[in-house]
Amino acid sequence: MHHELKKTITMKTMKFFSALSIAFLLLATTSVFAKVPVSNNTPGTTYGSFITYVVKFVQPSIPLRLKGTYYIEVTDDFGQPVAPPQIFKSGLWTYTFMEAGSVSKGIRTARMISDPQSVNPSALKVAPSTLNAPFYGGNTYTFVMSFH
């Protein structure tokens, strides 16, 4: 009977340490896979904090009279927005966008686009502004745009 009790205690100890080992293995695995990129799936994306993009408009010499709705957007190499577009408001000349992560090599383009549902939008011309560089989290990159 003593042998039987010792065998039961040994089996319980083995089960406990087996369960503990599995728990540590799962904890280690989840912490490794928790370090997924915090940016979009752009090639060259690495880990990091937020990249800040500032789009500044040179103020026009005459007041703007816009018909329709316009958006400011910043896109990646593939034309996909890196952050939600913002509605352009006459008199507001600076727009800030945030992208998670860092991009070791990439292209970012700021542009003003008209809402496709706007009826008779103004014939407003604003050339896009493009930056081709590595973009590091924690840094700010500025696009300067002007009305033509």
For 52-108, the pLDDT digits (tens) are 999 999 977 666 777 788 999 999 999 999 999 999 998 899 999 999 988 888 999
Question: Is pLDDT above 70 for 37?
Answer: no
Q: What is d(CA 83, CA 113) in angstroms, rounded to the nearest whole number?
A: 15
Give the number of other CB atoms < 10 A from CB of residue 31: 9
Question: Which pLDDT score, from 0 to 100, does residue 44 have?
Answer: 45
Q: What is d(CA 2, CA 81) in angstroms, rounded to the nearest whole number?
A: 72
Fold exhibited by the domain 45-146: Immunoglobulin-like (2.60.40)
pLDDT band at 131 (very low <50, low <70, confident <90, very high): very high
Q: What is d(CA 139, CA 51) in angstroms, rounded to the nearest whole number?
A: 6
Question: Which pLDDT score, from 0 to 100, does residue 71 have?
Answer: 94
First vs last C-alpha separation in the chain: 96
The 8-class DSSP code of residue 117 comes to: T
| More confident position, 30 or 114 | 114
Question: Which pLDDT score, from 0 to 100, does residue 6 have?
Answer: 59
